[in-house]
Amino acid sequence: MAIALLNDSPGFRHFTCTSTYHRFLQLKITDGAKHLVENHGGFGYFLVIAKAQEELEKQSFQHWRLERMTGCFFGITVDDGNGNVLCSMRVELMGFMGDAVRLYVIDGTVLLPSEY
């Protein structure tokens, strides 16, 4: 059974570009990414992304995949966009409202794939 991507839900379909870049710690985030943080409990996920940049900052393109494992535990896999895994981890994210989401981090900017 395929996991439903939060990106595919009606609340995300209109994010096809961004009008404003916002700040989240050292990251820039798009309107769609900000929507994920503010309306779907994405704050903890973005803290993980920000912290990981200490090791991944030299990788200009990062494809982040978050999938619920059980309860509030999630698996995260980061690859270079060509399927080469850069890192993976298991995290606990309280309050995240989805079972799976995909994001890109490009040169320090977090965006939804639909905003690419």
Domains of the chain and any CATH numbers: 20-115 (3.10.450)
Mean pLDDT, rounded, of the chain: 94
Buried b (16+ CB within 10 A) or exposed e, 77-89: ebbeeeeeebeee
Condensed to tens digits (0 to 9), the pLDDT of residues 1-55 reads 567 888 888 888 889 999 999 999 999 999 999 999 999 999 999 999 999 999 9
| Residue 95 structure tokens | 């309050």
- Verdict on whether the full-model pTM lies above 0.85: yes
- Dihedral sign, Cα of residue 68, residue 66, residue 13, residue 30: positive
State yes or no: pLDDT of 85 exceeds 70: yes
Question: Which residue is listed with tokens 């939804």?
Answer: 112
Average pLDDT rounded to a whole number, residues 85-96? 96
The whole-number pLDDT of residue 5 equals: 87
- Between CA 50 and CA 57 the distance in angstroms is 10
101 to 21, 54, 58, 64: CA distances (angstroms): 20, 22, 23, 8
